[in-house]
Each structure stands twice: as C-alpha cells, then as structure tokens.
Amino acid sequence: MKILSIGNSFSLDAHEFLHELSEQRGINLKAVNLAIGGCSLQTHWENVVQNNANYIHIINGGAWEEKRVTIEEIIKSEAFDIVTLQQVSHFSGEYETYQPYLDSLVQYVRKYQPNAELYIHRTWAYEIDSQHDGFARYDRDQQKMYKAICEATKIASGVVNAKIIFAGDTIQALRERLPKFDYANGGESLCIDGFHMSHTYGRYAVALTWLATLTGKRVAQMPFKDLDLDIITQICDIVNEIVFEK
C-alpha cells in the first residue's frame, strides 16, 4: 500500500509512527508525506499552479533532505493507492476556507492518480488552554472547535466524494473517556504545545487511526516503545469503535 499525504505539520504528526506500526503488524506500507508547516489548502493550490518547490519530502516518517520538492514531481513519480488532503488546523472547522481550493486540488490529484482513493484527514481540536492565535476563531472552546471540524470535513468529503480519517474523533474520545487524558482535571495532555500531538500517546493514537482506516483492519493491542500496555489496549478499543462503528 502506497500513501501520499499533501499536508502540513499535522500530517507530520500522523505519519511519525504510521510506517513503524504497519511494520509491527506485518503490513507492507509506504507512507510519503509532502508538508509545509501551517499550509492551507489555498497555499497548496497556489503551489500547484506556480509549481513551487516548497515541500519537505518525508518517506515512512523518517528524516528529510534539505532539498525541497514540488507536488508535481512527487505525484507523477509513482502510482499511489491513497492520497490524503487536509485543511490547515485553524481553518479546519470553516468549510468556506476549503473552497474553491479543495475542488481544484482534487481534480489535480485525480488527473495524475486516477486510481487512488481520496481521504480527508479530520484533524483534532486544540487543547483547552492552547495559546494558538487560531483558537480564537472558535472562542477558545475545544468542543466548539471539534464540532466545527466534524461538520466542515463531513461537508468536504461529500462534495469531493472522499472518505474521512477520523483522527480528531479518536483524540476527542480519549480526552473525554480516559482519565489519563482528562487534562482539565489533572490528566496528561495529548498535545505538546496546545495543538500538535505529543510524541507518545498523541501521535500513536492518530497513526493507529490512520492504519485502521486505510487498511480496513481492526487494530489489536501490541507493545509499542515504552507506552503503557493497558493504555494501548484502551486506545485500540476506541480506535476500532470510531473507525468501524462510527
């Protein structure tokens, strides 16, 4: 399975453990990430039109070279089974910011990758005390931001006939259902800075959601790094519920 993500720092979060988790489960997966931190759908489309070499190119969550690339050279380089798109986080709950750029990007992707399945990455709401300037767009209310993201990505996926990767749903469920991640009451935040996922459970949970979604296979508990096995088990249960029962 070959995956191409045209994204930003939130796709970097999603990809960090994706290949490693697939290898652990005996799944042959290549994850290619084209990213610019803070990149919106509008900027992605402008980069296509101008053929700007502004993207870092990461394979399987590893390191990237200093040389930047264009979307065109990567999207033409090989056949991909899956292509993912996402809006920049602070606009992710405002569907009006998606268009007309999403439509244009989808047409472009389908021109060069006609057999690829298209997915919209539903990202997560910011932490309750996030200092990100974009949080003000949602009155600094995590629930309001989460619901707005759900609505915007639902509309977007329907308009362009894409599936959704429910990463944001997984993160919100962990916050609300597992005491370990009940940040408002002294639990651990799943973010490292109020908006990017932590390098432990946050990125693990997001990658696991991607893996279950893209493979269509339920995820079973397996030891991973030094993460608590009981917490891993609970995350797996929630991921399976969200991906296969939502």
23-45 tens-digit pLDDT: 999 999 999 999 999 999 999 99
Q: Which two tokens stand for residue 200?
A: 């432990």
Domains and CATH numbers, the chain: 2-245 (3.40.50.1110)
The pLDDT assigned to 13 comes to 97
Residue 73 pLDDT more than 80?
A: yes
Nearest Cα to Cα of residue 93 among 171, 160, 166, 152: 152
Distance CA 12, CA 23 (A): 18
The amino acid sitting at 71 is I
The pLDDT assigned to 27 comes to 95
49 exposure class (CB count in 10 Å sphere: 0-12, 13-18, 19+): exposed
The mean of the pLDDT values for the chain is 97
The pTM of this model reads: 0.96
| DSSP codes, the chain | -EEEEEE-HHHHHHHTTHHHHHHHTT---EEEEEE-TT--HHHHHHHHHHT---BEEEETT----SS-B-HHHHHTTS--SEEEE---GGGTT-GGGTTTHHHHHHHHHHHH-TTPEEEEE--PPPPTT---GGGGGGTT-HHHHHHHHHHHHHHHHHHHT-EEE-HHHHHHHHHHH-GGG-GGGT---SBSSSSSBPTTHHHHHHHHHHHHHHH--PPPP---TT--HHHHHHHHHHHHHHHHH-
211-237 tens-digit pLDDT: 999 999 999 999 999 999 999 999 999
**CA 182 vs CA 124, 136, 174: distances in Å:** 15, 22, 8
Q: Are 22 and 222 in contact (CB under 8 A)?
A: no
150-162 tens-digit pLDDT: 999 999 999 999 9
Residue 246 pLDDT more than 90?
A: no
154-177 residues labelled b (16+ CB within 10 A) or e (exposed) = eebbeebebebbbbbbbbbbbbee
Mean pLDDT across 95-113: 98
**CA 71 vs CA 12, 26, 126, 179: distances in Å:** 16, 30, 28, 42
Nearest Cα to Cα of residue 167 among 204, 115, 220, 113: 204
Q: How many CB atoms lie within 10 A of CB 59?
A: 13
